[in-house]
A and B are shown apart, each in its own frame.
Chain A
Amino acid sequence: MCEVCAVFGVGEHWSDSPAIVNAMFPARDIQQYRAHRAQRIALINKVLASTGVTCFDWDGERYGLEDKSYRQAVADNLTDVWKVARQLSNTLPDPLKLAKAD
């Protein structure tokens, strides 16, 4: 989010939805990106369910993460979500063995 004008961003990381849209002004579709983001956070929470860490929207661009002790940390982008989640929980599900971890 822009600290000056308080306008939510749309995400500039390669994994964010605007990165794959052929649009000169991606912010015009901000509602759509917000919906994608909510869906994405719900999916992240499914993946992290076994760790006790939950993910939430921080500022429209970054991700907040919280463990069972209510310790919070912020990940700048989706790539960093996994690093931060690992720092909070000391473990992460193995993506190659996700079904077995459930």
Chain B
Amino acid sequence: MQQNAGQISVYILSGFLGTGKTTILERLLRAPEFLKTAAIINEFGEVGLDHSLVSHTGAATSVIEAGCACCQALPALEKRLLDTLTEVSAGRAEIETIIIETSGVSDPLPILNTIRSNFILNRFLSVKSVMTVVDCTRGRALGENYSEAARQIAVADLAILSKLDISSEDQANDARAYIKQVNPDARVIRNDAPDLSSQILHHVELMPRERDTIAWSGVKHIEKLTTFSLRYDSKVDWSRFVIWLTMILDQYGAQILRFKGLLNTGDANPPLAIHSVQHLMFPPYHLPSWPDADVTSRLAFIVDGIPSERLRSSLDEFMAL
């Protein structure tokens, strides 16, 4: 995700209840890379506890209680972010980074949407990464039993394995395999890495790779998650493509959990990177060059209940309009 001068970097830290988000947050706040950081913690319970766990780090820490930030507490989160910007602009605080720790059952999308839909937040904040913490001891079990856990993995671009000290190698491998099953483009890192904060700071979102169609079911509240990629050999006409994409997101946005693409829009143009989280589209941007000799357009989807062949034929129809 691109960042303009003067913008504050925002990292969203999600993860299901009890996966170790606050432990990671505390560690990040102590790292030299995150010295000028404000932390905003959202807790699902009525009385915030995590706040006190990290308060001794010295970072500007605030807590939003009484509700989950993806539903009830959004206005509070919006106000807290605006207040933080006010403090920075008035010279009362020196903040380069904001980390938002979501409640364990939060969907990160409404938080992203809050930032994008508020003119001031959108101008002065730049979401650098959506991270999710995956507990190795119960990674697959959580994802298969709680739709919130699966969605958190599906929309993340960085997954952090936790509880490695109390899990077996097999459990860690299974958690990693589950993450790749749900979201093949997510980068997976370990929370016991000595350079964890540096890895997060310098994380560059992975561009979509070719993937086999994988479908799995059994996740509560989710009909059928599928991940697949489409290739488009011809030059992509931007107007036709955006008409198709906006219409698809308008009607099926809730079912498209994650979408990324590298587009070839013309002979002389560098590849155009695009991505969305559900119906929320991020501004497209050009990469300096193609990652390899392959210059065909490619799109990668994580969808809930949309057959890949339907999307493929739909794209073909729009490109032939």
Question: Which A residues lie within 8 Å of B283 (CB)?
Answer: 14, 19
CA distance A23 to B286 in the complex (A): 11
The stretch from B24-32, B153-161, B313-321 touching chain A is: B313-321
Per-position 1/0 for B304-320, Cβ under 8 A of A: 00100011011001100
- A79-B251 CB under 8 A given contacts A95-B314, A98-B318: no
Per-position 1/0 for B288-315, Cβ under 8 A of A: 0000000000000000001000110110
B276 to chain A, nearest CB (A): 10
Cβ-defined contact, A82 with B317, below 8 A: no
Cβ-defined contact, A19 with B284, below 8 A: yes
Residue of B nearest to A40 (CB): B239
Taking a contact as CB atoms closer than 8 A, the residue among A17, A22, A78 that contacts B243 in the complex is A78
Residue of A nearest to B281 (CB): A14
Q: Does A4 contact B (CB under 8 A)?
A: no
Cβ-defined contact, A15 with B246, below 8 A: yes
Residue of B nearest to A102 (CB): B317
CA distance A82 to B248 in the complex (A): 10
Question: Which B residues lie within 8 Å of A22 (CB)?
Answer: 270, 286
Cβ-defined contact, B265 with A20, below 8 A: yes
CA distance A79 to B116 in the complex (A): 14
Per-position 1/0 for A70-102, Cβ under 8 A of B: 000000001101110000000010111111000
B259 to chain A, nearest CB (A): 13
Q: Does B232 contact A (CB under 8 A)?
A: no
Residue of B nearest to A82 (CB): B250
A10 to chain B, nearest CB (A): 14
Which size class do A's interface residues fall under?
Answer: 20 to 34
Cβ-defined contact, A96 with B311, below 8 A: yes
Which size class do B's interface residues fall under?
Answer: 20 to 34
Per-position 1/0 for B226-246, Cβ under 8 A of A: 000000000000111011111
B320 to chain A, nearest CB (A): 10
Question: Which A residues lie within 8 Å of B284 (CB)?
Answer: 14, 19-20
CA distance A92 to B252 in the complex (A): 13
Taking a contact as CB atoms closer than 8 A, the residue among A17, A95, A97 that contacts B244 in the complex is A95
Cβ-defined contact, A44 with B250, below 8 A: no
Cβ-defined contact, B321 with A96, below 8 A: no
A99 to chain B, nearest CB (A): 5
- A81-B246 CB under 8 A given contacts A14-B283, A46-B321, A47-B321: yes
Cβ-defined contact, B250 with A83, below 8 A: yes
Cβ-defined contact, B242 with A96, below 8 A: no
CA distance A42 to B87 in the complex (A): 48
CA distance A15 to B242 in the complex (A): 6
Cβ-defined contact, A92 with B251, below 8 A: yes
Question: Which A residues lie within 8 Å of B240 (CB)?
Answer: 43
- A95-B248 CB under 8 A given contacts A17-B238, A20-B284: yes
Cβ-defined contact, B239 with A43, below 8 A: yes
- A43-B321 CB under 8 A given contacts A20-B284, A78-B243, A82-B247: yes
Q: Which 6 A-B pairs have the closest CB atoms?
A: A15-B242, A82-B250, A95-B247, A40-B239, A14-B283, A96-B310
Apart from A22-B286, A82-B251, A95-B252: 15 A-B pairs, beta carbons within 8 A = A15-B242, A19-B283, A36-B238, A39-B239, A43-B239, A43-B240, A46-B321, A47-B318, A47-B321, A83-B250, A92-B247, A95-B251, A95-B318, A96-B310, A96-B311
